[in-house]
Structure 1
Amino acid sequence: MDNIFEVTITPLDTVFFRDAKPFTMGDDSWGNGLFPPAPSVLYGAIRSAYLYQHPHILEEKLVDTDQDPSKSIEVIGINLNYENSDLFPLPLDLVQDKNRIEVVRSNEVDRKRKKKRYLNAKLLDRGSLEENFRGLKVGNILTGGVDKDVERIVNGLIDLESLEDYYCYGASEMKEGVDVYTLDQFLFEEPKIGNQSARTLEREEDRALYRVGFKRMHKKLSFKLQVKAKEDFLLLDKSFVRLGGEGKLAKIKVEKPEEEEALDLDEAEFKILLTSPAFFDNGWFSQELADAGFELITAAVGNPVAIGGFDLAKKCPKPLRKAVPAGSVYYYRGSSAAAIKDFFHGRKSLCTAKSDQKQGYGLFKLAKI
């Protein structure tokens, strides 16, 4: 029987997660990274840790067979955690007024490590004109108002308390401003400079310097996952796993989570907030929701994220795919509140591929408009 576990992964050293851009030492001097990492990176880390605790699965070549209990591992929640406060991607329909930004400042170290920057985040007003939105006709557009000059908050994060206000009460009852974190408050650049080894080159003059963008996470910042797995998954508690570029160590904590209350939707209009990148069969747009009878009202969608990886079983790179980024928001209209509840009951991911669902892609939260 599968159970739900809360898994906290805390790096003990710098981290580096490759993005999808090709990097060849000598042609490029800088290797770019992606933070937070793709859900498949964290899924792979905890599955590897589980297999390490059960070496017979590898020794008897049972990986991915019916006798492999690690196949049952499914990521159903992903977020960052800072000082026991869960942080999620800032919904892209929350913006800041360009002309009125209040920032709480102290000395530089405290601002980086402890202080939240207060940004005057506002909900975008919905217009009423029909527009052609990325190839689709939608009934409304999102605007900042006639006299508002607004912009998105880059790499914004929102804590769970503010997020619950966002999806439980809707725009009309949310306070005007919310506390917003940004990723740069928790990450410290520690680039690594290397020299391509002459042993791999035919000529000494072909040696090339390169830099890799390693980052050191704040010591109180960690990755937090909700995982569905077998009961013996608790064996991973207080264990270690190698994470990211160069396989730096990270510690694992496993515990049983508190039960989360489901959102009580009582209207036919609702929002979907992506909390992890999602792959849809129709690009940025979910054809499955359209086929289920849900009408897209409008959307706030970020730029696509290119996600690849390496297939250890096949010993080759995985195909590069573009995902809708976390924080993207979709406004929908259903036939009734009951129809919405029936469709989303027990559903954790909006992806249609089972492999994507298991790895934690397409995770979402329902919200009131």
Structure 2
Amino acid sequence: MTDYCFIEPLDVLYLRGNKLFGDAGSYGEALMPPWPSLAAGALRSRMLADHGIDLAAFAQARERLPGLSDALHACLGTPQKPGKFRVSLFTVACREKEQIQPCFPLPADVVVTARTLDDATYLQPTAPHPTLSSSSYALPQPPLLRAAGPAKPQSNVWLNAAGLGAYLNGEKLGKEHLLRGGELWQFDHRLGIALNGAQRTVARGMLYTAQTVALNRRDGGGKGRDVGFLVGVDGVNGLLPKDGLLRFGGDGRGATLQAVSSKNLLLPAPDWRRIEQERRFRLVLATPGLFADGWQLPGLDADNLWKGPDHCTARLVAAAVNRADTVSGWDLAQRQPKSAQRVAPVGSVYWFDDFQGKAEALRKLASEGFWAMSDYPDLSRRVEGFNNLLSRRVEGFNNLFVAAWPKR
């Protein structure tokens, strides 16, 4: 069972990425949308504090702490052996009265070039002419854009809840389905001065500029939208806080927390029956993908045959994957940076045909993420230094949407 909550900042947020930052004159860029690990850390810390658990002691604990209830231990575990807690959904969302509507970055298989956002076009996997068979593209059908002429794609475009529903079913996208990032948040630049921690004084010559994120709010006349983050968490069994405050992002900025019931949540789904009948579908990364073989999904063999959960199979024919990102973070328990790992970015799309199996297997994949079939990194990778397996699962990486790939 998944518990949902809506997190709404009370101030600007410091959403830092993994770029070096700290020299005099540094410029700190914000990461938007942030990694799902932001929500995982904030919620777990709040849960521990609510139950009177010393956070420093928990960070250093290798075994169960005295006073930790059976239910909370099963949920959170220890830093070395996390429990059942897992962020299964993390995305920007809008609150419209009592309804929470998720928004999602425009997937890699949709291109919008018009400033009016009214010409959204799907990339179409297409088998190349035999004379182009020596193409360097690694899969049988490169995804192609069919357009009347050259144009530059619009950037920072998002799907609203209705747009996500249309996208998951392969329907035409109109301007009513799309938002610009500026309708959800604004960047705000702040000047800072570094401090000497030992002397508790200002460090000379250490001015810096940081980019912060100000999520949009309704104005006094009720115009606009209240923007926050929608978080879905598995394995908490009712332990997720229902309301109150969180420390959220860099510098521990405040945010409010509100539980969300399923009746107030607009979460669209694909037409599972159509996917099963047409025997083809798309997989779309909803959070960064941490895979053993770079952009390639778990379960693929050398012939691009994919073996999914519950013995289902399909053949990968195309993929649209943007440039790889790098994730890291700060390990509070070890007081050191987490290992930097390359990931496939959010919105990457993989097309499959010749699906053999039941839609229920794909439902399981959508619910559990790629952890349903692969605990990457495996034991050999841990020896090589990839040791963030369990924590990355808890933090919400490797989540996905299943989308229809309609036959035209």
Q: TM-score range by the shorter chain?
A: 0.7 to 0.9
TM score, norm. by length of structure 1: 0.82
**In 2, Cα distance between equivalents of 1:231 and 1:340:** 27
State the secondary structure of the residue aligned to 1:52: helix
Cα distance change of structure 1 residues 128 and 9 upon mapping to structure 2, 3 Å threshold: same
Q: Which amino acid aligns with 2:227?
A: L
State the secondary structure of the residue aligned to 1:191: strand
Could you tell me which residue of structure 2 aligns to residue 80 of structure 1? 92
Structure 1 stretches of 4+ moved >6 Å: 130-135, 198-201
Q: Determine if contact 1:192/1:213 at 8 Å carries over to the other structure.
A: yes
1:213 to 211, 215, 218: 211
Q: How many equivalent pairs are there?
A: 342
Residue by residue over 1:260-312, the C-alpha shift from the partner in whole angstroms, topping out at 9 and shown as x without a partner, is 66641222221011111111110011142445143221111122221111111
Q: Point out the more displaced range, 345-354 or 33-42.
A: 345-354
Q: Point out the more displaced range, 129-138 or 358-367.
A: 129-138
1:358 to 357, 378, 394: 394
The correspondence of residues 183-222 of structure 1 with structure 2, limited to 5 A, is 183-197=181-195, 207-219=205-217, 220-222=226-228
Cα distance change of structure 1 residues 102 and 196 upon mapping to structure 2, 3 Å threshold: closer
1:228 to 231, 234, 237: 234
**In 1, Cα distance between equivalents of 2:211 and 2:134:** 36
RMSD (CA atoms): 3.0
Could you tell me which residue of structure 2 aligns to residue 285 of structure 1? 296
Cα distance change of structure 1 residues 209 and 318 upon mapping to structure 2, 3 Å threshold: same
Q: Point out the more displaced range, 28-37 or 189-198.
A: 189-198
Could you tell me which residue of structure 1 aligns to residue 166 of structure 2? 165
**In 2, Cα distance between equivalents of 1:43 and 1:134:** 42
Could you tell me which residue of structure 1 aligns to residue 318 of structure 2? 298
Cα distance change of structure 1 residues 177 and 31 upon mapping to structure 2, 3 Å threshold: closer
**In 1, Cα distance between equivalents of 2:134 and 2:370:** 21
Cα distance change of structure 1 residues 190 and 166 upon mapping to structure 2, 3 Å threshold: closer
Q: Determine if contact 2:193/2:203 at 8 Å carries over to the other structure.
A: no
**In 2, Cα distance between equivalents of 1:262 and 1:64:** 42
The correspondence of residues 135-174 of structure 1 with structure 2, limited to 5 A, is 137-145=138-146, 147-168=148-169, 170=170, 173-174=171-172
TM score, norm. by length of structure 2: 0.75
1:320 to 320, 324, 340: 340
1:5 to 3, 17, 24: 3
Q: Which amino acid aligns with 2:127?
A: S
Q: Point out the more displaced range, 29-38 or 185-194.
A: 185-194
Q: Percent identity?
A: 21
State the secondary structure of the residue aligned to 1:55: coil
**In 1, Cα distance between equivalents of 2:197 and 2:57:** 37
Cα distance change of structure 1 residues 237 and 342 upon mapping to structure 2, 3 Å threshold: closer
**In 1, Cα distance between equivalents of 2:197 and 2:52:** 35
Q: Determine if contact 2:321/2:349 at 8 Å carries over to the other structure.
A: yes
Q: 1:196, CA displacement in angstroms?
A: 3.1
Cα distance change of structure 1 residues 36 and 176 upon mapping to structure 2, 3 Å threshold: closer
Residue 276 of structure 2 corresponds to residue 276 of structure 1: no
Q: Determine if contact 1:96/1:150 at 8 Å carries over to the other structure.
A: no
State the secondary structure of the residue aligned to 1:214: strand
**In 1, Cα distance between equivalents of 2:58 and 2:109:** 48
Residue 242 of structure 2 corresponds to residue 237 of structure 1: yes
1:89 to 85, 88, 105: 105
Q: 1:29, CA displacement in angstroms?
A: 2.3
Residue by residue over 1:230-278, the C-alpha shift from the partner in whole angstroms, topping out at 9 and shown as x without a partner, is 34425x1221111111111001111332496664122222101111111
Cα distance change of structure 1 residues 88 and 61 upon mapping to structure 2, 3 Å threshold: closer
Residue by residue over 1:299-345, the C-alpha shift from the partner in whole angstroms, topping out at 9 and shown as x without a partner, is 11122221111111111110111211111111112442x25643653
Q: Determine if contact 2:167/2:173 at 8 Å carries over to the other structure.
A: no
**In 1, Cα distance between equivalents of 2:295 and 2:323:** 10
Q: Which amino acid aligns with 1:190?
A: D
Q: Determine if contact 1:299/1:331 at 8 Å carries over to the other structure.
A: yes
Could you tell me which residue of structure 1 aligns to residue 382 of structure 2? none
